[in-house]
Structure 1
Amino acid sequence: MQDFGVDEDKLQEQFLQESMQQAILNNPELFKGKIVLDIGCGSGKLSFFAVHYGATHVYAIDCYSIINDSQTTEKLNNVSDKFTLIKDRIDNVVLPVDYVDVIVSEWMGYCIFFDSMLDPVIFARDKWLRKDTGRIFPDRARLHIMGIKNLLNKKAKDINQPIVGVCDNEQVITNECTLVEIDLMTITTPELHFSLPFQLKVKTSGILFALVAYFDVAFSHSSNSPQQSFVELDDEKKTQQYLFFSRKPYVMNWQQTVFSLPKIWNVDNNDILMGEFTLCSNTSSNEEMNITILYKHIHNDSEQGLMIKDEQQKKYILG
């Protein structure tokens, strides 16, 4: 997959960490006196936030080069009695405790699912997280798609590879469609592969070049409230009680994943783009994911009504 925004990714990661820190700060009761597991701890900042806001102990796990931020390392050294660093794969880890109260992780990947840490989080949830009162942070996510009228002035080296880039409001010519919503407290590994229908309505006549996929994530609990739905979170996010982070085009300068159509379509206002979005692992490579999109262009003719104008299918490789 082509990545055109390393600097932007760093800014997005910083914003996400700051958002998660703010959500922890606003809900200290969820961390105070609790045992926390940080999966894919990276720089260790989330581990430090958890300790700083009252966690009894944090077990931080990563199988790569970790805790590489000198300031964070110094802070964690000052609370070494409350912090244990483990460099290993999650399925090899043996914790000295039978359970944890909270799992924190920046588990999201491209299109949520690719290059994510969903599998390790699910594994840890089933093995260590308290069944009755345990929390995952963040615990909810949605994947959305919409149609755009150009390809960000960027070309992928492989036509079957998606493009990563930033879309703006002027590029979007359809409404949005939510493909899938996941709850990390209940989702299972087989459910990470799916085939789902979608339908988009053209809002502005033009040339449709691609679909753009983006996600939002949330921590749907607060100290004093039960789990919230995304509809409720849309209303509540301004209170900052809940973590709410979106990569929606034109909300902020976040990158999205762009899937170019097999061939461009001239579309008119009120035309419909419908089809099926299929996501599954590549059986020949653990580092790739296959996405197949079936497209149907339905023209809304003023005299003849709805009629199928064209149909296409394309397979994309994330990897």
Structure 2
Amino acid sequence: MQQVKPEDITSKDYYFDSYAHFGIHEQMIKDSVRTGSYQEAIERNRKVFEGKVVLDVGCGTGILSMFAVRAGAKHVYAVDCSSIFYMAKEIVELNKFQDKITLIHGMIEKIELPVKVDIIISEWMGYALLYESMLDSVLYARDKWLAPNGLILPDRAVLWICGIEDKEYKSQKINFWKDVYGFNMKCIQSSVLQEPLVDVVNPDCISSSLQLRSFDLYTVKKEDLSFESPFRLNVTRNDYLTAFVVYFDIGFTSLDFPVWFSTSPRAVSTHWRQSVFYLSEELVVSRNETVTGSLSVRPNARNHRDLDFSISFQHKGKINGLVSAVDSYRMR
């Protein structure tokens, strides 16, 4: 397929190559939690990087590659299949790193490297952690290109789930369709409920939270990314439960100076925000009651970069009585 340079990109190209546009990279770079955590993990651990060969999977503008060079890396192979590659090449040359950074345009699964690498760095996380399935590429790179005892950064990911009361916002989002300038469009409501909302959640809305699943990037396998995890949420106050929220923490733990950051509603906001799954029917919950259930996450069969979610739950409350439900969602 003929590659399209940034200056020649049209809206049609953006549909297939959304990471070609500088705007999304501006948003990510300006995310101080994201970029600052990577910078700290790399540049504060110079002894780890000095004289090492590094692979940057999905390099984007090349900023992580340049952090690695500034930390003393011997050489960096920076790989990206998006047309941002052309801008990254200019950026590397502007900063006079062309002798230290080799840019490779293509999918990590199809390129070749002349050597094994000592360190893999990548910013692979998507909404709800796994959206877009970029972790698959990091695991492929790990298995093919990482030298024995090599490092992966980041190397830990933890997925969390919490329950929230967000009745007013849900009403604005869902009930809006009942009266649109005097017209009834409530047939859209079911579709709205089936798509998670990516937004910043008010931490005051949280009524319960739980660590759902953790991933060790040294040992996790591709098949582990489709899973079903049970949960048991202990309610901390009398409230409504209108939605479940999924967020994640990321750790650079195999370093002299480990670094963690969180996308929790209680942490500084990031461009990932949180993923909100509105329930078809809200619950009335009381302090010390329990909501049990399971979260199923799988790549969509037709488009593996989309995620299919299923949340089943059960609650026996003083007011609702016994309530059981299964809600399905797709993130796309």
Bucket of the pairwise TM-score, normalised by the shorter protein: 0.7 to 0.9
Q: Please name the residue that 2:17 is paired with.
A: none
- State the distance in 1 between where 2:168 and 2:61 align: 32
Q: Please name the residue that 1:234 is paired with.
A: none
**Is 1:114 aligned to residue 148 of structure 2?**
no
**Is 1:55 aligned to residue 73 of structure 2?**
yes
Residue 115 of structure 1 aligns to a residue whose secondary structure is: coil
> Is the 8 Å Cα contact of residues 151 and 260 (structure 1) preserved in structure 2?
no
> Is the 8 Å Cα contact of residues 76 and 101 (structure 2) preserved in structure 1?
yes
Q: Please name the residue that 2:92 is paired with.
A: 73
Residue 112 of structure 1 aligns to a residue whose secondary structure is: coil
**TM score, norm. by length of structure 1:** 0.84
> Is the 8 Å Cα contact of residues 110 and 116 (structure 1) preserved in structure 2?
no
Tell me which of 165, 179, 182 is aligned to 1:149.
165
Structure 1, residues 249-297: CA drift from partner, whole Å, max 9, x if none?
Answer: 1221231000001211111111111101111111122232111010111
Indicate the larger mover: 66-75 or 243-252.
66-75
**Is 1:173 aligned to residue 189 of structure 2?**
no
Q: Please name the residue that 2:15 is paired with.
A: none
Structure 1, residues 67-98: CA drift from partner, whole Å, max 9, x if none?
Answer: 5369843454x12111100110111101121x
Residue 155 of structure 1 aligns to a residue whose secondary structure is: helix
> Which consecutive unaligned segments of at least 5 residues does structure 2 have?
1-23, 175-190
> Is the 8 Å Cα contact of residues 57 and 138 (structure 2) preserved in structure 1?
yes
- State the distance in 1 between where 2:301 and 2:75 align: 39
Residue type at the aligned position of 2:155: D
- State the distance in 2 between where 1:45 and 1:222 align: 20
Tell me which of 269, 283, 287 is aligned to 1:269.
287
Q: Please name the residue that 1:162 is paired with.
A: 196
What is the percentage of aligned positions where both structures have the same residue?
37
Q: Please name the residue that 1:222 is paired with.
A: 255
* Distance verdict in 2 for CA 1:15–1:279, change over 3 Å: same
Tell me which of 82, 94, 97 is aligned to 1:64.
82
> Which consecutive unaligned segments of at least 5 residues does structure 1 have?
1-5, 224-240, 302-306
Tell me which of 106, 110, 120 is aligned to 1:88.
106
> Is the 8 Å Cα contact of residues 152 and 167 (structure 1) preserved in structure 2?
no
- State the distance in 1 between where 2:303 and 2:226 align: 15
* Distance verdict in 2 for CA 1:308–1:124, change over 3 Å: farther
> Is the 8 Å Cα contact of residues 246 and 275 (structure 2) preserved in structure 1?
yes
**TM score, norm. by length of structure 2:** 0.81
- State the distance in 2 between where 1:34 and 1:7 align: 26
**Is 1:312 aligned to residue 328 of structure 2?**
no
* Structure with more helix by fraction: 2
**Is 1:128 aligned to residue 145 of structure 2?**
yes
Residue 51 of structure 1 aligns to a residue whose secondary structure is: helix
Give the deviation of 1:101 after TM superposition. 0.3
> Is the 8 Å Cα contact of residues 140 and 217 (structure 1) preserved in structure 2?
yes
- State the distance in 2 between where 1:12 and 1:88 align: 26
Residue type at the aligned position of 1:165: D
Residue 38 of structure 2 aligns to a residue whose secondary structure is: helix
Please report the RMSD computed on the Cα atoms of aligned residues, expressed in angstroms.
2.3
Give the deviation of 1:116 after TM superposition. 4.0
Tell me which of 245, 248, 261 is aligned to 1:245.
261
Indicate the larger mover: 12-21 or 245-254.
12-21
Structure 1, residues 231-260: CA drift from partner, whole Å, max 9, x if none?
Answer: xxxxxxxxxx21211001122123100000
Residue 129 of structure 2 aligns to a residue whose secondary structure is: coil
- State the distance in 1 between where 2:101 and 2:327 align: 47
**Is 1:187 aligned to residue 206 of structure 2?**
no
Residue type at the aligned position of 2:324: E
Residue 92 of structure 1 aligns to a residue whose secondary structure is: coil
* Distance verdict in 2 for CA 1:244–1:267, change over 3 Å: same
